[in-house]
A and B are shown apart, each in its own frame.
Chain A
Amino acid sequence: DAGVTQSPTHLIKTRGQHVTLRCSPISGHKSVSWYQQVLGQGPQFIFQYYEKEERGRGNFPDRFSARQFPNYSSELNVNALLLGDSALYLCASNTRLREEFFGPGTRLTVL
């Protein structure tokens, strides 16, 4: 079975631009979570979606938004990019909202 997939792998943007990151969960998993990991820190929770509804939100500004599609894939959108948004963005797939399995991540660099 394929694991969690994310695209793109790497992305370079400039300040003020918008970015969309994509994630497909493990087959059969209906929940997707997004995390941001900056260098030297553990991942920080951004959003959780279950059955296409937002179930949880971390302490991130409104510039961050997400959605989940009928096939359970998900998008994370970030508007008005700041230098501090440079990070590894991780998508995690889980079932029954317990164990979470991470995808390879998207490394975003904001110049």
Chain B
Amino acid sequence: QKEVEQNSGPLSVPEGAIASLNCTYSDRVSQSFFWYRQYSGKSPELIMSIYSNGDKEDGRFTAQLNKASQYVSLLIRDSQPSDSATYLCAVKSGGGADGLTFGKGTHLIIQP
């Protein structure tokens, strides 16, 4: 049984600070890792993908992957109120035919 674990929150961060979101996964053969943002009542929006160990930066977002520790994180710099949403961590095995396995999501609140 593949599992993806996230702290459900809410995680409250002051505007302008760094928000740090964490995720662990159980399946060691997972090879692709994703972060989605989901606003209330909307569908998930892909914001980051990462496939190899280390950091990947895109604008204010940085994804970090440590396969040995089975750990993925997302950092949001200069947090804005518009970043307030639920952040979903998702993983996929090498073949991809099993689809994405999601965590329950972390509810992030950016306080103005």
Report A's interface with B, CB cutoff 8 A: 33, 35, 40-48, 50, 55-56, 58, 88, 90, 92, 97-105
One of B41-49, B54-62, B68-76, B77-85 contacting the partner: B41-49
Given contacts A43-B100, A43-B102, A97-B97, contact A105 B4 (CB under 8 A): no
- Greatest chain B CB density within 10 A among A40, A45, A104 is at A45
The interface size of chain B toward A, counting residues with CB under 8 Å, comes to 24
Q: Which residue of B lies closest to A33 (CB)?
A: B99
Question: Can you list 25 residue pairs at the A/B interface with Cβ under 8 Å?
Answer: A33-B99, A35-B99, A35-B100, A42-B88, A42-B104, A42-B105, A43-B44, A43-B100, A45-B100, A45-B101, A46-B99, A48-B97, A50-B97, A56-B96, A56-B99, A58-B98, A58-B99, A88-B43, A92-B100, A98-B32, A100-B46, A100-B100, A102-B43, A102-B46, A104-B43
| Given A42-B102, A98-B92, A102-B46: 20 more A-B contacts, CB < 8 Å | A33-B100, A35-B100, A41-B104, A42-B103, A43-B44, A43-B100, A43-B102, A45-B98, A46-B99, A55-B97, A56-B97, A56-B98, A88-B43, A92-B100, A97-B96, A97-B97, A99-B34, A99-B49, A102-B36, A104-B42
